[in-house]
Structure 1
C-alpha cells in the first residue's frame, strides 16, 4: 500500500469517526428533545383541560365533560385518556390507535420511545372532583425522529464525501514532492540522471531533495567519467587520435576476422602526397589540419560494414566486405575526389596529389599478401597519368559466383522484390546465451531460396541500402516473424535486424507502431536490432524510433557496437536492452591493453543494466575470458555446439 493511500485511509477513518460522533450526539439530542416535547405538551394539555373540566364536574355536567375531553384530545399525540369521577365512582376512558406508519420496523425495534403518562387531580376549591390521566402516543415522536435521522444521514454523507475529496486533494498536493522524490529514486536506481528536482516548500522535504539532487549529480559525473575513461582507453588501443579513424591495430583485427570467413569484397589503399609534403615543408600543424579535414570527409563513407583506418602519416585504408569490383572502383574514385579537395586548385587543372590502390579479395589471401597487393596496386596507380587508380582483381569465381558477381545493384533489388512478392525468404535462428548458459534471444538471419540457389543477406543488403529500399524488406521480414511467433508459442524471443534506411523512414515508424500495438502480447518475444551507424549519422530519427519502441513496451539492441568509434556516452540516453560488441573488441583479449578497453566498455554498459553480447565466440576458454571481463552474453560457434542452429 502506498503512503498516500495509507495516510488517506487513516485521515478518512478519523474524519468518519468524528462525523459519526456528531451524528450520534445529534441523534440523541433530537430523541431527548422529542421526549421532553411530549412531556411538556401533555402537561400543558392537562393544565388547560383541567381548568375547563373542573366547573363542568362541579355542576355534575358529565356530558359537557366528555365533550371537552373529546375536543381536546385527538389521536395524533395521545393514546389513552382516563377520567375517574370520585363522586359516584364513574369512569370515562378514551383510547386512540397508536399505529406507527411510514417507519421501518427495524428502526422501531432499535429505538424504543416509551409513552409518557401524566395524571392530575381536578378540584373545585378544596373538593376533589376527579382524576385525569393522559398517556402520550409515541408515533409522532417516531416519525419526527425518523425524518430527522434521514436528513442527518444525507447531510453527513454529503459532508463526508466532500471532506474525503478535499482531504484527498490536499494530501495529494502535500505529498506531490514526495511522489516526485519517489519517481526520481526509481530513475536513479535505473541509472537515469537527466533532470534535477525542484526544491519544494516543505521544510522536511527540502533537505531530502537537495540530497537527492547532489547524489544524482555526483552519480551522473561518475558515469560520465566512466564513459570518458572507456572512450580514452578505446582511442588508445584502437583509434588514431588525430584523425579519429581506426588505427593499424584495429584494421588488422578486422582484416583477420574478414579473411577468416568466406566472404567477398576488397580494400582501398589511399596515399595522399599533399599531406606528406605538408608535414615536410609546412610543419606538423599544417599536416594535422589536412589529416583532420580528409578524415572528416572520409567518415561520410562509414557504415557498419566498412572499416576506415589511418595506417601511417599519409596512408589510409578502407575495408569494404561484400561489394563488387565496380563498387570498389566507385569508392576509390570517391576517395580520390576527397583527397583532391585538400589542394587549392581554382582552375581544376592541377594533377591529384594522391593515388589509390584497390584489391579484390581472393579465397587464399592472408593479411600479408593482401597488404602487399595493395602496395603494388598503389605503386601502379601512380603510373596512371589520367587517373591515379589501379584495381587488382585476381579472383577466379565459379560459374555460380560469376552469375552472382555479374548481378548489379538493380538486379539484386529486383531479386529481393521478387522474393518478397513470392515469399522466397527463409530464416536461420542463432541463439545468444548469458554467462549461465540460459538463452537470451535468437538472432534472425534471412536468406533467399530461389530454386536450388541460395542468396545470403550479405549479398543483397548493400544493394538494398544503396537504393534506400530496406523498408519493404524489413516490413516483410517483421510480418513473417510476427506471424511465426503467434503460430509458434515456443519460439522466441527473437532479434530482428533493422536496416538503416528503415530507421530513417517515418512511414516505417508508423507501420511498426501499428504492428506493436496490434501484437502487444509479443512485446517480450521480439527485439529490434538497430545498426550503430544510425545512432551516429541519424541520431534524431533513431531517437524517435527508439522512443516509439519504448512507448509500446518493446525492446531494442545495438549491432556492431563500437565499430564507428563514437562516444559510448549515448548509451545512457537511448538505454538499449543489449549491445552486440564489434568483433575487434573481443578478438584479442589476451592483449592486456585491449582487455582493459573491453572491461571498461562492459563495466559502463553493465552499470546501465545493458547486456553486452560478444559474437563469434569460438571456444569455451574464450567464453570464460570474456566472462571475466564482464561480458554477459555470447553468440557463436561455442553456443552453436550446445544449441544447434535452427532453420525455418
Structure 2
C-alpha cells in the first residue's frame, strides 16, 4: 500500500470518528430534548387544566368539566387522560390511539422513547376535588427524532465526502514532491536520468530532493564517464584517431573473420596521392584536414557488413563481403569520385590523384595474399590514367548472382512461401538459454540460400521491407501456434528501419500480438543507429511502448558511442567479432571489460558470437561477457539433448 493511501485512510478514520462523535452527541441531545419537551408539555397542560376546571368542580358542573377536558386534550400529543372526581365518585377518561406513522419500525425498535405519565390532585382550599392523570404519546417525539436523524445522516455523509475529497487533494499536493522522488527512483533503477527535480517548500522534503538530485547527477556523471572511458579505449585499440575510421588492427581482425567463413565478396584499396602530397608540402595539420574530409565522404559507403579502414597515411581499405564483381567495381568508382572531390579543379581537367585496386576473394586466399593482390591491382591501376582502377578477379566469381537476380529469387520465395527457419541459441554465463536467433533461408530444389547471400543485395536495392514483413508474419504465426516456443530474436534490415510504412505496419502487428511481447526480440543493425538515427530512435520508442524489446547487432563495428546505450535501452548488444577475438591481448581485454562493465551497469546483456571453445567462453565470462553464441553453445545444447 502506498504512503499516500495509508495517510489518507488513517486521516479519514480520524475524521470519521470525529464526525461520528458529533453525530452521536447531536442525536442524543435531540432525543433528550424531545423527552424534556414531553414532560414540559404535560406539566403545562396539567396546570392549565387545573385552573380551568377548578371552578366547575366546585360548582359540581361535570358537563363543563368534561368539555374543558375534551377541549384541552383533543390532540395526539397525549395518549390518555383520566380525571377522578373525588366527591361524586365519578371518572372522566379520554384515550387517543398510539399509532406512529412516518417512522420505520426498526428505528422504533432500536430507539426507545417511553411515554411520560404525571398525576396531580386538584383542590379548592383544603378541599380535594379531583385527581388528574395525563400520559404522553411518544409518536410526535419519534417523528421529530426520525426527521432529525435523516438530516443528521445526510449532513454526516455530505460532510464526510467533502472532507475526504479535500483531504485527498491536500495530501496529493503535499506528497507531490515525494511522488516525483518515487518516479525518479524507478527511472534511476533502470539507469535513466532526467532533469533535476524541483525543490519543494517543505523543509524535510526539500532536503531529500536536494540530496536526491545530487545523487542522480553523480550517477549520471559516473555512467557518462564509464562510456567515455570505453570509447577512449576503443579508439585507442581499433580506431584511427585522425579519420575516425577503423585502423589496421581492426581491419586485420575483420579480414580474418571474413576469411574463416564461406562468404564471397572482395576488398578495395584506395591510395590518394593528393593526401601524401599535402602532408609533404603543407605539414600534418593540412594533411589531417584532407584525411578527415575524405573520411567523412567514405563513411557514406558504410554498412553493417562493410568495414572501412585507414591502412596507412594515404591508403584506405574497404572490405565488402557478399558483393559481386560489378558491385565491387561500382564501389571502387565511387571511391575515386569521392577522392576527386578533394581536388581544387573547377574545370575538371586534372587527372584524379588517386587509384583503386580491387580484389575478388578466392577460397584459397589469406590475409597476406589478399593485401598483396590489392597492392598489385593498385600498381596496375596507376598505369591507367583515364580511369585509375584495376580489378583482380577469379574465373569462378563470374558465376556469382547479381543484385537483381537475388531480388528476383527473394520475391519468388516470398510468393511461393519457400522461406525456412533455423535457430541458434544464445546462453548466459550459467548455461541457461537467453533466446534463440532465427536465421531465414530459401529452399529451392536441392539448394539452400542463406540470408547472408541475399540480404546484402536486397538492402542495396532498398527492398528489405517486403522480406521483413514476410519473415515476421511467418514467425508470429509459428509462435502463436507453439506456446512453448521462444523467446526468438529476429533481424530487421536497414531499409525497413528507414521505411515509415514498415514502422506503422510493425506497430499494428505488435498491438495485435501483445501476448508475444516477452517472446519476440527485434535485432537491429548498429549502422542504422548512425545512418538513420531518427527513424531508428522512433522504431525503438515504438517497440518500448508496445512492451517488446530489441537488441543491437554487430555492436562496435561502426564505432557508435556507448553513451547512447542509456537512451536506447536495448535488452542486449551482440558484440562485433573484433572485440571478442584474441582477448589474450591486454589492450583488447581492457577494452572489452570496459564495454561490458558499461553495459552491465545499464542492465544490458552483452553477447559474444562465434564462440568456438569452452576455454574461449570462460575467458569471455571472466571479462564480464554475459551471453554466448556459436559452436560451443550448439555443442552444450546437443549434450543436454543426448
- TM-score scaled by structure 2? 0.98
Match of 2:465 among 460, 471, 478: 471
Match of 1:506 among 496, 500, 503: 500
Alignment of 1:117-136 (within 5 A): 117-136=117-136
Alignment of 1:182-193 (within 5 A): 182-193=182-193
Does the 8 Å contact 1:115/1:136 carry over to 2?
yes
CA distance in 1: counterparts of 2:164 and 2:74, whole angstroms: 48
Match of 2:574 among 577, 580, 603: 580
Is residue 619 of structure 2 the alignment partner of residue 632 of structure 1?
no
Query: Helix, strand or coil for the counterpart of 1:643?
Result: helix
Is residue 599 of structure 2 the alignment partner of residue 605 of structure 1?
yes
CA distance in 1: counterparts of 2:34 and 2:499, whole angstroms: 82
Deviation at residue 65 of structure 1 after TM alignment: 1.7
Tell me which residue corresponds to 1:557.
551
Deviation at residue 80 of structure 1 after TM alignment: 1.5
Deviation at residue 92 of structure 1 after TM alignment: 2.1
CA distance in 2: counterparts of 1:294 and 1:588, whole angstroms: 31
Deviation at residue 104 of structure 1 after TM alignment: 2.4
Query: Helix, strand or coil for the counterpart of 2:559?
Result: coil
Does the 8 Å contact 1:360/1:395 carry over to 2?
no
Tell me which residue corresponds to 2:282.
282
CA distance in 2: counterparts of 1:596 and 1:627, whole angstroms: 14
Tell me which residue corresponds to 1:411.
405
Deviation at residue 532 of structure 1 after TM alignment: 0.6
CA distance in 2: counterparts of 1:589 and 1:430, whole angstroms: 24
Alignment of 1:399-438 (within 5 A): 405=400, 407-438=401-432
CA distance in 2: counterparts of 1:194 and 1:516, whole angstroms: 28
Does the 8 Å contact 1:75/1:97 carry over to 2?
no
Match of 2:514 among 503, 506, 520: 520
Tell me which residue corresponds to 1:389.
389
Does the 8 Å contact 1:361/1:395 carry over to 2?
no
Which has the larger displacement, 521-530 or 444-453? 444-453
Tell me which residue corresponds to 1:480.
474
Alignment of 1:486-497 (within 5 A): 486-497=480-491
CA distance in 1: counterparts of 2:381 and 2:594, whole angstroms: 42
Is residue 231 of structure 2 the alignment partner of residue 237 of structure 1?
no
Tell me which residue corresponds to 1:265.
265
Does the 8 Å contact 1:81/1:135 carry over to 2?
yes
Which has the larger displacement, 243-252 or 211-220? 211-220
Tell me which residue corresponds to 2:33.
33
CA distance in 2: counterparts of 1:504 and 1:201, whole angstroms: 48
Query: Helix, strand or coil for the counterpart of 2:337?
Result: helix
Deviations 1:149-198 (A, max 9, x none): 11111111011011111110111111001000111111112211121111
CA distance in 2: counterparts of 1:623 and 1:86, whole angstroms: 123
Does the 8 Å contact 1:523/1:553 carry over to 2?
yes
Tell me which residue corresponds to 2:609.
615
CA distance in 1: counterparts of 2:296 and 2:405, whole angstroms: 33
Does the 8 Å contact 1:82/1:94 carry over to 2?
yes
Tell me which residue corresponds to 1:227.
227
Deviation at residue 644 of structure 1 after TM alignment: 4.8
Query: Helix, strand or coil for the counterpart of 1:390?
Result: strand
Deviations 1:29-74 (A, max 9, x none): 1001101111111111111111221112111122222222222213
Which has the larger displacement, 626-635 or 97-106? 97-106
- TM-score scaled by structure 1? 0.97
CA distance in 2: counterparts of 1:212 and 1:282, whole angstroms: 54
CA distance in 2: counterparts of 1:194 and 1:298, whole angstroms: 36
Kindly tell me: are residues 644 and 300 of structure 1, through their superposed partners in 2, closer, same or farther at Cα, counting changes over 3 Å?
farther
Q: How many residues align?
A: 640
CA distance in 1: counterparts of 2:403 and 2:358, whole angstroms: 20
CA distance in 2: counterparts of 1:373 and 1:214, whole angstroms: 59
CA distance in 1: counterparts of 2:122 and 2:302, whole angstroms: 123
CA distance in 1: counterparts of 2:503 and 2:625, whole angstroms: 32
Tell me which residue corresponds to 1:316.
316
Deviation at residue 395 of structure 1 after TM alignment: 4.5
CA distance in 2: counterparts of 1:479 and 1:155, whole angstroms: 63
Alignment of 1:26-425 (within 5 A): 26-396=26-396, 405=400, 407-425=401-419
Which has the larger displacement, 42-51 or 574-583? 42-51
CA distance in 1: counterparts of 2:388 and 2:194, whole angstroms: 52
Deviation at residue 505 of structure 1 after TM alignment: 1.2
CA distance in 2: counterparts of 1:619 and 1:144, whole angstroms: 94
CA distance in 2: counterparts of 1:511 and 1:148, whole angstroms: 66
